[in-house]
Chains A and B, each alone.
Chain A
Amino acid sequence: MTAGTATAEPTGPSRSAIDTTLRAILRDVLALEESQVEAFDANTGLFGHLPELDSMAVAGLFTEMEDRLDIVIDDDDVDGEMLETYGGLLAFAEAKTVES
């Protein structure tokens, strides 16, 4: 076994990697400062709380999540709950990453 194999993550990217990528996507879509996105916690409200996040922006957000996290988001996944808070969106991204 090589050192590389020993440190590999058998279940895909770590939580912190998904978290970092998701914050970067939100920063790009919402044009926020790094520090503002860093301050997001699990209860930070998203859809319905941030006026910039209209339907087109949400669609762009999903497309970026698919590209950068290498996941597929189905039509059935697009429900309201996972978009309500940052914690909900992160949990969704983690579940999808494990699936893929």
Chain B
Amino acid sequence: MPSGATADEMLLGFDRKREHRLLVVMPLFDEASKMRRQIVETMRILDQSSVDCFCPDLPGCNESPALHAKQSFSGWRDAAASAAAHVQATHVLGVRSGCLVAPRDLPGWAYEPVKPRSVLSRLARAGQISAREANQAVTANELIARGCKEGVTLAGWSFGPDLVNELAANESNTSPHHLPITQEEIGGSPLWLRAEPSFDPAQAQALAAMIVDRIDLP
């Protein structure tokens, strides 16, 4: 890690020591589980198209033993940069909130990036609805204010105050090296919106084809 600390995290990779090596940064929070299969299937197609692909677990996410409540965006950016260096990535694909922590210096793509504040609002709103079902009256704004001060659990995710403050500050990670990919270009309805995780082969094919077509462009 850039800070000098070390971290052991899992990484899913298709590595045949080829010229193009793509780091894929998954969306964070609930969208990670909704998009995981879709992203892995896209990586399989890229592998068949001569692109090595790597998708690391960020600390506190997926199989990571680290506590989610201890994580921050700055820590995730360090972890993503370390993963990129470890696998010698030549390009990066950020997906949704994954774009917020994708290494800025690597060339690549931002697939439907989302603003930090919008991520927080959606999670806080889910928290408000859950609380109401449990007959507790609390608003999304109250949950965010509490989170900024002492941390909060939203939709089953434990957020420390650092992470809530970073989300509330709404600083994006826009890099001129990351070209936007829109859902309109991919076609079909956005899978991260679905209430249940899903897979769409046509969308995976479209995303992989777009990357393969553009990976050699300067």
Question: Which residues of chain A have a CB within 8 Å of any CB of chain B?
Answer: 27-31, 52-60, 62-64, 75-76, 78, 80
Q: Mark B6-38, 1 if CB is under 8 A from A, else 0.
A: 000000000000000000000000100000000
In chain B, what residue has the closest Cβ to A24? B189
The contact of A63 among B122, B130, B139, by CB within 8 Å, is B122
16 CB-based A-B contacts, threshold 8 Å? A30-B195, A31-B194, A31-B195, A31-B196, A54-B195, A58-B129, A59-B123, A59-B125, A59-B126, A59-B129, A63-B118, A75-B140, A76-B139, A78-B125, A78-B140, A80-B132
Q: Mark B131-153, 1 if CB is under 8 A from A, else 0.
A: 01100000111000000000000
A78 engages B193 (CB within 8 Å): no
Question: Which residues of chain B have a CB within 8 Å of any CB of chain A?
Answer: 30, 118, 121-123, 125-130, 132-133, 139-141, 155, 189-190, 193-196, 198
Cα–Cα distance between A56 and B194 once the two chains are bound (Å): 10
B126 engages A56 (CB within 8 Å): yes
A53 engages B129 (CB within 8 Å): no
How would you classify the secondary structure of chain B's contact residues: helix, strand, loop or mixed?
A: helix
Cα–Cα distance between A78 and B189 once the two chains are bound (Å): 25
A28 engages B125 (CB within 8 Å): no
Question: Which of chain B's residues have a CB closer than 8 A to the CB of A75?
Answer: 125, 128, 139-141
